[in-house]
Amino acid sequence: MSPRRFGFIGLGNMGAPMAANVAGAGFDLIVYDKAGTEARAPGGSSAAASLAEVAAVAETVFLSLPDGAATLAVARQIAALANRATKVVVDLSTIGIAAAKEAHAILAGAGVSYADAPVSGGRAGARAATIAVMWAGPAELLESHRGVLDAMAGNVFHLGDDPGQGQAMKLLNNYLSATALAATSEAMVFGLAQGLSLEVMLAVVNVSTGRNTATSDKFPNRIVTGTYDAGFSAALLAKDLRLYLESARAAGAPSVVGGAVAGLWQSADRAMPGGDITHIYDFVRGIAGAGEGGGEAPPP
Ligand code: NAD
Protein backbone atom coordinates (compact mmCIF):
# COMPACT_ATOMS: atom_id res chain seq x y z
CA MET A 1 0.00 0.00 0.00
CA SER A 2 1.28 3.49 -0.79
CA PRO A 3 2.17 5.64 2.21
CA ARG A 4 -0.09 8.59 2.99
CA ARG A 5 2.31 10.87 4.81
CA PHE A 6 5.88 11.66 3.78
CA GLY A 7 8.86 13.25 5.49
CA PHE A 8 11.92 14.95 4.04
CA ILE A 9 15.22 15.43 5.92
CA GLY A 10 17.85 17.77 4.40
CA LEU A 11 16.64 20.82 2.46
CA GLY A 12 19.84 21.91 0.70
CA ASN A 13 20.60 22.45 -2.99
CA MET A 14 18.89 19.18 -3.95
CA GLY A 15 16.55 18.48 -1.02
CA ALA A 16 14.71 21.80 -1.12
CA PRO A 17 13.62 21.57 -4.78
CA MET A 18 12.83 17.83 -4.56
CA ALA A 19 10.69 18.44 -1.46
CA ALA A 20 9.02 21.39 -3.22
CA ASN A 21 7.99 19.11 -6.09
CA VAL A 22 6.58 16.51 -3.68
CA ALA A 23 4.57 19.14 -1.80
CA GLY A 24 3.59 20.83 -5.08
CA ALA A 25 2.11 17.56 -6.37
CA GLY A 26 -0.22 17.52 -3.37
CA PHE A 27 1.49 14.90 -1.17
CA ASP A 28 1.23 15.38 2.58
CA LEU A 29 4.79 16.38 3.52
CA ILE A 30 6.59 17.29 6.76
CA VAL A 31 10.21 18.51 6.50
CA TYR A 32 13.28 19.15 8.66
CA ASP A 33 16.80 20.57 8.18
CA LYS A 34 19.19 20.94 11.08
CA ALA A 35 20.49 24.26 9.68
CA GLY A 36 16.99 25.77 10.04
CA THR A 37 13.73 24.40 8.70
CA GLU A 38 11.38 27.41 8.53
CA ALA A 39 13.48 29.29 5.96
CA ARG A 40 13.96 26.17 3.80
CA ALA A 41 10.53 24.49 4.00
CA PRO A 42 8.76 24.58 0.63
CA GLY A 43 5.25 25.98 0.32
CA GLY A 44 2.62 23.35 1.02
CA SER A 45 4.80 21.40 3.49
CA SER A 46 4.83 21.61 7.27
CA ALA A 47 8.06 22.45 9.09
CA ALA A 48 9.07 20.13 11.94
CA ALA A 49 11.16 21.18 14.93
CA SER A 50 13.14 17.90 14.93
CA LEU A 51 13.81 14.65 13.13
CA ALA A 52 11.77 12.89 15.83
CA GLU A 53 8.76 15.04 14.95
CA VAL A 54 9.03 13.92 11.31
CA ALA A 55 9.45 10.23 12.17
CA ALA A 56 6.50 10.35 14.59
CA VAL A 57 4.07 11.00 11.71
CA ALA A 58 5.70 10.20 8.33
CA GLU A 59 5.44 6.60 7.08
CA THR A 60 8.15 7.18 4.46
CA VAL A 61 11.07 9.53 5.09
CA PHE A 62 13.30 10.81 2.26
CA LEU A 63 16.90 11.80 3.05
CA SER A 64 18.99 14.29 1.05
CA LEU A 65 22.06 14.58 3.27
CA PRO A 66 25.68 15.50 2.51
CA ASP A 67 27.47 12.23 3.23
CA GLY A 68 27.54 8.82 4.90
CA ALA A 69 28.19 10.22 8.38
CA ALA A 70 25.01 12.30 8.17
CA THR A 71 22.86 9.44 6.83
CA LEU A 72 24.17 7.01 9.47
CA ALA A 73 23.53 9.52 12.28
CA VAL A 74 19.95 10.01 11.06
CA ALA A 75 19.42 6.24 10.56
CA ARG A 76 20.56 5.56 14.15
CA GLN A 77 18.24 8.26 15.47
CA ILE A 78 15.26 6.90 13.55
CA ALA A 79 16.02 3.33 14.65
CA ALA A 80 16.18 4.40 18.31
CA LEU A 81 12.84 6.25 18.36
CA ALA A 82 10.05 4.62 20.36
CA ASN A 83 7.29 6.80 18.93
CA ARG A 84 7.78 6.05 15.23
CA ALA A 85 5.39 5.95 12.29
CA THR A 86 8.27 5.55 9.81
CA LYS A 87 8.35 2.19 8.03
CA VAL A 88 10.51 3.17 5.03
CA VAL A 89 13.58 5.36 4.53
CA VAL A 90 14.42 6.37 0.95
CA ASP A 91 17.96 7.73 0.86
CA LEU A 92 18.50 10.11 -2.07
CA SER A 93 21.99 11.07 -0.84
CA THR A 94 25.38 10.04 -2.27
CA ILE A 95 27.07 8.21 0.61
CA GLY A 96 29.07 5.34 -0.89
CA ILE A 97 28.51 1.59 -0.92
CA ALA A 98 29.66 0.73 2.63
CA ALA A 99 27.54 3.45 4.27
CA ALA A 100 24.43 2.35 2.31
CA LYS A 101 24.89 -1.24 3.52
CA GLU A 102 25.38 0.00 7.09
CA ALA A 103 22.31 2.27 6.97
CA HIS A 104 20.28 -0.66 5.67
CA ALA A 105 21.49 -2.90 8.53
CA ILE A 106 20.79 -0.28 11.22
CA LEU A 107 17.25 0.32 9.97
CA ALA A 108 16.50 -3.37 9.27
CA GLY A 109 17.32 -4.04 12.94
CA ALA A 110 14.46 -1.68 13.85
CA GLY A 111 12.04 -3.11 11.25
CA VAL A 112 12.42 -0.15 8.87
CA SER A 113 12.95 -0.76 5.12
CA TYR A 114 15.75 1.14 3.36
CA ALA A 115 16.11 2.06 -0.30
CA ASP A 116 19.50 3.18 -1.57
CA ALA A 117 18.27 5.70 -4.16
CA PRO A 118 20.80 8.41 -5.11
CA VAL A 119 19.91 10.96 -7.77
CA SER A 120 21.56 12.76 -10.70
CA GLY A 121 20.71 15.84 -12.71
CA GLY A 122 21.88 18.68 -10.49
CA ARG A 123 19.91 21.46 -8.85
CA ALA A 124 18.43 22.49 -12.21
CA GLY A 125 17.17 18.93 -12.76
CA ALA A 126 15.81 18.77 -9.21
CA ARG A 127 13.87 22.00 -9.81
CA ALA A 128 12.53 20.76 -13.15
CA ALA A 129 11.74 17.28 -11.75
CA THR A 130 13.85 15.70 -14.51
CA ILE A 131 16.46 14.02 -12.27
CA ALA A 132 17.29 10.32 -12.51
CA VAL A 133 16.69 8.14 -9.43
CA MET A 134 18.94 5.06 -9.13
CA TRP A 135 16.89 2.77 -6.88
CA ALA A 136 18.40 -0.28 -5.19
CA GLY A 137 15.86 -1.99 -2.96
CA PRO A 138 12.80 -4.21 -3.23
CA ALA A 139 10.82 -3.73 -6.47
CA GLU A 140 7.50 -3.73 -4.59
CA LEU A 141 8.77 -0.88 -2.40
CA LEU A 142 9.59 1.04 -5.56
CA GLU A 143 6.14 0.38 -7.01
CA SER A 144 4.41 1.59 -3.83
CA HIS A 145 6.43 4.83 -4.11
CA ARG A 146 6.09 5.30 -7.86
CA GLY A 147 3.67 8.24 -7.59
CA VAL A 148 5.78 10.31 -5.23
CA LEU A 149 9.00 9.50 -7.13
CA ASP A 150 7.40 10.59 -10.40
CA ALA A 151 6.61 13.94 -8.77
CA MET A 152 10.33 14.64 -8.30
CA ALA A 153 12.09 12.69 -11.07
CA GLY A 154 12.03 12.22 -14.84
CA ASN A 155 13.55 8.72 -14.81
CA VAL A 156 13.41 6.08 -12.09
CA PHE A 157 15.64 3.03 -12.56
CA HIS A 158 15.43 -0.20 -10.55
CA LEU A 159 19.07 -1.32 -10.42
CA GLY A 160 18.75 -4.28 -8.10
CA ASP A 161 17.68 -5.30 -4.62
CA ASP A 162 20.95 -4.84 -2.73
CA PRO A 163 21.82 -1.65 -0.84
CA GLY A 164 24.99 -0.21 -2.39
CA GLN A 165 24.03 -0.92 -6.01
CA GLY A 166 22.45 2.54 -6.32
CA GLN A 167 25.61 4.06 -4.87
CA ALA A 168 27.84 2.11 -7.28
CA MET A 169 25.80 3.47 -10.21
CA LYS A 170 25.84 7.01 -8.86
CA LEU A 171 29.58 7.01 -8.12
CA LEU A 172 30.50 5.79 -11.60
CA ASN A 173 28.21 8.42 -13.13
CA ASN A 174 29.81 11.20 -11.08
CA TYR A 175 33.27 9.95 -11.95
CA LEU A 176 32.36 10.36 -15.64
CA SER A 177 30.79 13.78 -15.06
CA ALA A 178 33.76 15.02 -12.99
CA THR A 179 36.19 13.74 -15.62
CA ALA A 180 34.31 15.58 -18.35
CA LEU A 181 34.34 18.88 -16.44
CA ALA A 182 38.01 18.64 -15.45
CA ALA A 183 39.17 17.50 -18.91
CA THR A 184 37.06 20.14 -20.66
CA SER A 185 38.61 22.83 -18.43
CA GLU A 186 42.10 21.69 -19.42
CA ALA A 187 41.18 21.48 -23.12
CA MET A 188 39.69 24.99 -23.09
CA VAL A 189 42.84 26.43 -21.46
CA PHE A 190 44.93 24.76 -24.18
CA GLY A 191 42.68 26.12 -26.95
CA LEU A 192 42.75 29.66 -25.53
CA ALA A 193 46.54 29.51 -25.60
CA GLN A 194 46.27 28.75 -29.35
CA GLY A 195 44.13 31.85 -29.96
CA LEU A 196 40.77 30.04 -30.12
CA SER A 197 37.76 31.55 -28.34
CA LEU A 198 35.69 29.67 -25.76
CA GLU A 199 32.51 30.27 -27.76
CA VAL A 200 34.00 28.83 -30.97
CA MET A 201 35.54 25.83 -29.21
CA LEU A 202 32.21 24.98 -27.54
CA ALA A 203 30.31 25.38 -30.80
CA VAL A 204 32.70 23.00 -32.59
CA VAL A 205 32.93 20.41 -29.80
CA ASN A 206 29.16 20.35 -29.34
CA VAL A 207 28.70 19.09 -32.92
CA SER A 208 31.81 16.88 -32.72
CA THR A 209 32.97 13.83 -30.82
CA GLY A 210 34.25 15.65 -27.71
CA ARG A 211 30.73 16.68 -26.64
CA ASN A 212 29.88 16.06 -22.98
CA THR A 213 27.85 17.55 -20.11
CA ALA A 214 30.51 20.21 -19.48
CA THR A 215 30.56 21.41 -23.09
CA SER A 216 26.77 21.18 -23.55
CA ASP A 217 25.67 22.61 -20.19
CA LYS A 218 28.17 23.72 -17.56
CA PHE A 219 30.47 25.75 -19.81
CA PRO A 220 27.87 27.58 -21.93
CA ASN A 221 25.28 28.03 -19.16
CA ARG A 222 27.37 28.55 -16.03
CA ILE A 223 31.01 29.38 -16.85
CA VAL A 224 30.87 31.53 -19.99
CA THR A 225 27.99 33.41 -18.33
CA GLY A 226 30.14 34.02 -15.23
CA THR A 227 27.38 32.74 -12.93
CA TYR A 228 29.23 29.63 -11.64
CA ASP A 229 25.95 28.28 -10.31
CA ALA A 230 25.72 24.51 -10.80
CA GLY A 231 24.56 24.33 -7.16
CA PHE A 232 26.93 21.48 -6.36
CA SER A 233 29.92 22.09 -4.12
CA ALA A 234 33.37 20.89 -5.13
CA ALA A 235 33.64 19.44 -1.61
CA LEU A 236 30.72 17.06 -2.28
CA LEU A 237 32.07 16.06 -5.70
CA ALA A 238 35.54 15.45 -4.20
CA LYS A 239 33.80 13.19 -1.62
CA ASP A 240 32.09 11.26 -4.46
CA LEU A 241 35.42 10.75 -6.24
CA ARG A 242 37.13 9.55 -3.05
CA LEU A 243 34.32 7.01 -2.62
CA TYR A 244 34.51 5.99 -6.28
CA LEU A 245 38.26 5.44 -6.15
CA GLU A 246 38.11 3.45 -2.90
CA SER A 247 35.36 1.23 -4.33
CA ALA A 248 37.05 0.79 -7.73
CA ARG A 249 40.32 -0.20 -6.08
CA ALA A 250 38.53 -2.58 -3.69
CA ALA A 251 36.82 -4.19 -6.71
CA GLY A 252 40.13 -4.53 -8.59
CA ALA A 253 38.81 -2.28 -11.38
CA PRO A 254 41.36 -0.19 -13.32
CA SER A 255 41.68 3.35 -11.95
CA VAL A 256 44.54 5.07 -13.78
CA VAL A 257 42.34 7.89 -15.08
CA GLY A 258 40.24 7.73 -11.89
CA GLY A 259 43.28 8.34 -9.70
CA ALA A 260 44.35 11.39 -11.70
CA VAL A 261 40.84 12.89 -11.78
CA ALA A 262 40.23 12.27 -8.07
CA GLY A 263 43.62 13.84 -7.25
CA LEU A 264 42.81 16.94 -9.29
CA TRP A 265 39.44 17.41 -7.57
CA GLN A 266 40.89 16.94 -4.06
CA SER A 267 43.43 19.70 -4.84
CA ALA A 268 40.73 21.94 -6.30
CA ASP A 269 38.52 21.44 -3.23
CA ARG A 270 41.39 22.38 -0.91
CA ALA A 271 42.17 25.48 -2.99
CA MET A 272 38.57 26.77 -3.17
CA PRO A 273 36.73 25.71 0.01
CA GLY A 274 32.96 26.05 -0.37
CA GLY A 275 33.30 26.69 -4.12
CA ASP A 276 30.86 25.52 -6.80
CA ILE A 277 32.15 22.70 -9.05
CA THR A 278 32.25 25.11 -12.02
CA HIS A 279 35.17 26.98 -10.38
CA ILE A 280 37.36 24.01 -11.39
CA TYR A 281 37.89 25.96 -14.62
CA ASP A 282 39.50 28.82 -12.67
CA PHE A 283 41.54 26.33 -10.66
CA VAL A 284 42.85 24.68 -13.83
CA ARG A 285 43.60 28.10 -15.36
CA GLY A 286 45.53 28.95 -12.19
CA ILE A 287 47.66 25.84 -12.56
CA ALA A 288 48.40 26.79 -16.18
CA GLY A 289 49.19 30.38 -15.12
CA ALA A 290 51.59 29.11 -12.50
CA GLY A 291 53.42 27.10 -15.15
CA GLU A 292 52.42 23.78 -13.59
CA GLY A 293 50.11 22.58 -16.35
CA GLY A 294 52.38 19.87 -17.61
CA GLY A 295 49.76 17.15 -17.56
CA GLU A 296 50.38 15.80 -14.07
CA ALA A 297 47.48 16.06 -11.63
CA PRO A 298 48.47 17.59 -8.30
CA PRO A 299 48.88 14.87 -5.65
CA PRO A 300 45.71 13.83 -3.76
P1 NAD B 1 23.68 20.59 0.64
O2 NAD B 1 24.90 20.67 1.49
O3 NAD B 1 23.26 21.76 -0.17
O4 NAD B 1 22.41 20.16 1.56
C5 NAD B 1 22.47 19.20 2.59
C6 NAD B 1 21.49 19.65 3.68
O7 NAD B 1 21.42 18.63 4.69
C8 NAD B 1 21.92 20.94 4.39
O9 NAD B 1 20.88 21.90 4.32
C10 NAD B 1 22.20 20.49 5.83
O11 NAD B 1 21.86 21.48 6.80
C12 NAD B 1 21.29 19.28 5.95
N13 NAD B 1 21.69 18.34 7.00
C14 NAD B 1 22.93 17.81 7.21
N15 NAD B 1 22.89 16.95 8.26
C16 NAD B 1 21.59 16.93 8.70
C17 NAD B 1 20.93 16.22 9.72
N18 NAD B 1 21.59 15.38 10.54
N19 NAD B 1 19.60 16.44 9.90
C20 NAD B 1 18.94 17.31 9.10
N21 NAD B 1 19.52 18.00 8.09
C22 NAD B 1 20.83 17.81 7.90
O23 NAD B 1 23.91 19.32 -0.29
P24 NAD B 1 23.18 19.01 -1.69
O25 NAD B 1 23.99 19.59 -2.79
O26 NAD B 1 21.72 19.30 -1.58
O27 NAD B 1 23.41 17.42 -1.77
C28 NAD B 1 22.66 16.51 -0.97
C29 NAD B 1 23.09 15.10 -1.38
O30 NAD B 1 22.78 14.89 -2.76
C31 NAD B 1 24.60 14.85 -1.25
O32 NAD B 1 24.80 13.52 -0.83
C33 NAD B 1 25.12 15.10 -2.66
O34 NAD B 1 26.35 14.41 -2.91
C35 NAD B 1 23.97 14.59 -3.49
N36 NAD B 1 23.81 15.20 -4.83
C37 NAD B 1 24.01 16.55 -5.03
C38 NAD B 1 23.79 17.09 -6.31
C39 NAD B 1 23.97 18.56 -6.60
O40 NAD B 1 24.04 18.92 -7.79
N41 NAD B 1 24.02 19.44 -5.60
C42 NAD B 1 23.38 16.26 -7.35
C43 NAD B 1 23.14 14.91 -7.11
C44 NAD B 1 23.36 14.39 -5.84
Where a domain ends, among 161, 191, 220?
161
What CATH number is given to the structural domain containing 210? 1.10.1040.10
Residues 112 and 214 in one domain: no
Whole domain around residue 44: which residue ranges?
Answer: 5-161
Domain stop point among 161, 196, 229: 161
Distance 37 CA to ligand 1 centre (A): 14
Number of compact structural domains in the chain? 2
73 CB under 6 A from ligand 1? yes
- Ligand 1 atom nearest the C-alpha of 74 is 18
Quick check: CB of 122 below 6 Å from ligand 1?
yes
Atom of ligand 1 nearest to the CA of 232: 41
In a domain, 11, yes or no: yes
Number of the ligand 1 atom closest to the C-alpha atom of 16: 26
For the entire predicted model, the pTM comes to 0.95
Each residue of 158-173: pLDDT tens digit?
999 999 999 999 999 9
Q: Tell me whether residue 23 is in a domain.
A: yes
Give dist(CA 90, CA 15) in Å, integer: 12
Domain boundary residue, one of 161, 186, 214: 161
pLDDT tens digits, one per residue of 132-152:
999 999 999 999 999 999 999
Dihedral angle at the C-alpha atoms of 229, 231, 235, 237, nearest 10 degrees? -100
Let me know if residue 300 belongs to a domain: no
Candidate of 34, 51, 76 to mutate for ligand 1, largest count of ligand atoms within 8 Å of Cβ:
34
State whether 150 and 219 are in the same domain: no
Domain-embedded: residue 293: no
CA distance 254 to 256: 6
Does residue 19 lie in a domain region?
yes
66 lines ligand 1 (CB under 6 A): yes
pLDDT tens-digit series, residues 174-188: 999 999 999 999 999
Select from 48, 67, 66, 68 the least CA-distant residue to 8: 48
